[in-house]
Amino acid sequence: MAGSDSELTQWTLLEARERLRAREVSAVELTEAYLARIERVEPAVRAFLTITADEARAQARDADARRAAGEDAPLLGLPLALKDVLCTAGVRTTCGSRMLEQFVPPYDATAVARLAAAGAVFLGKTNMDEFAMGSSTENSAFFPTRNPWDIDRVPGGSSGGSAAAVAALEAPAALGTDTGGSIRQPAALCGVVGLKPTYGRVSRYGLVAFASSLDQIGPFARTAADCALLLAVLAGADPCDATALPDPVPDYLAELAGDLRGLRVGVPREYFGSGLEPGVEAAVRAALTQLEELGATVDEVSLPHTEYGVAVYYLIAPAEASANLARYDGVKYGYAVPAPTLLDGYFRTRAEGFGAEVKRRIMLGTYALSAGYYDAYYLKAQKVRTLIKGDFDRAFERFDVLATPTSPTVAFRLGERLTDPLAMYLSDVCTIPVNLAGLPGLSVPCGFVDGLPVGLQLIGPPLSEGRLLRVAQRYQDATDWHRRYPYLNAEY
């Protein structure tokens, strides 16, 4: 017999899977519990752009029928949410933009197709900063998402809807994307686990591109073990994506085994400078002490080119965005404004279809790529990107894992940084270098400051996701930050 809705939605993904397999609950009951939770808290949190209740119920019924017939699959009957930048056949994919408000893809992204093949039930599409450009989910063309821990504050971005949905118990797990911190930063601000895999570990086919050399798909969940379960389904080569790595996919759940004795943890001093809130630093330092108590050795290291990360990112990412977003011209699909001439149609469509932040980045990128400025800006940024990667390579000769704050601050208030783009961009100062180097990074909850969550970022060498997940899981085994829930019994 299933428990109450609130009890069911408190289960981790693995706990829910065990109960489904034991026939203690059905996929339909579990799905209905989450749909009921969404109905109760969505008016306050607003994590979803599209709720696919009918489709979810049909998928849950199918999962129960398959289980009754003796079938099983890694995610059979488990509800999930998807960031609205991933193509879903027959379900609109807006990217948080008026430009794609009515766009319904004819195919599934590879990540979505792999989850579906593993038996997942899709609850809906989550809110995001427009075309993944932002750090607060306030740049959505439709409405801002609110942080479940304090609805006057942001959930982070650009995957704020997915992070908030998991934190508010509207889904046990969700997919996001991370171009400069868009999984890890909202995971930290919402008090959940967020994993950005190695560049190429997860296929980008069907992900609407922002910056193609930086984008990566990854999971949100309440535990590292749940992220391991999802990554095992998501990862692997894909003939539709030439950048998807051909390396074999390990059993990430099996890689969680083992303690931390002998683990070498490096702490980059550059991540503990000005701009880091004292409460955040204290929580991260306490987490490092906990890792030492679990058997790791912790020592300082330098990543000297870290200070250039934000500047490099805001040349490379907008440059790639300016090329990727050129396709939205009102001709083939998406938003279109009728005009007397083709050129006028381009101008009016893009002026009305894109929001302010997207326009800002398109202009930055186009300028950086323009004749006479390419060498001075874009080419130089790529060279410094190589230096940033070199810093990490040298650090991993001495250390197995690097540990830093995920965000220099806790969640800031809605509207606080909207008129100050630089302050908003600095929200990702701790996460951006990881994307520039193509490395895996993970954020795990490590405490609270004035009731707001703090995240510890773990960084590893390429394809070390299993190691990061093991460290995070051992840390979660020793702490209870992930067992604390916002608005657990609230009725809105």
Instruction: Report the catalytic residues.
Output: 83, 158, 182
Nearest C-alpha neighbor of 271 from the set 4, 34, 459, 486: 459
Per the CB < 8 A criterion, the answer to whether 404 and 268 are in contact is yes
The torsion angle over the Cα atoms of residues 102, 105, 108 and 110, rounded to 10 degrees, is -100
Judge whether 421 and 314 are in contact, CB under 8 Å. Answer: no
Q: For 213-288, list the strands marked E by DSSP.
A: 217-221, 264-268
Under a CB-based contact definition with an 8 Å cutoff, are residues 194 and 456 in contact?
A: no
The per-residue DSSP string of 365-432 comes to HHHHHSTTTIIIIIIHHHHHHHHHHHHHHHHTTT-SEEEEESSSSSPPBTTSSTT-HHHHHGGGTTTH
Residue indicated by tokens 């609130």: 6
Give the contacts of 466 (CB within 8 A, at least 6 positions apart).
228, 250, 252, 255, 256
Token pair listed for 345? 């149609």
Question: Which element (helix H / strand E) includes 79?
Answer: strand 79-83
How many CB atoms sit inside 10 A of residue 257's CB? Answer: 9
Q: How many CB atoms sit inside 10 A of residue 432's CB?
A: 26
End-to-end CA distance of the chain: 27
| CA–CA separation, 102 and 90 (whole Å) | 11
Quick one: the chain helix, strand, coil %, rounded to 5? 45, 15, 40
Give the count of beta carbons closer than 10 Å to the beta carbon of residue 442: 30
How far apart are the C-alpha atoms of 210 and 215, rounded to whole Å? 7
Whether residue 30 contacts residue 61, with contact meaning beta carbons closer than 8 Å, is answered with no
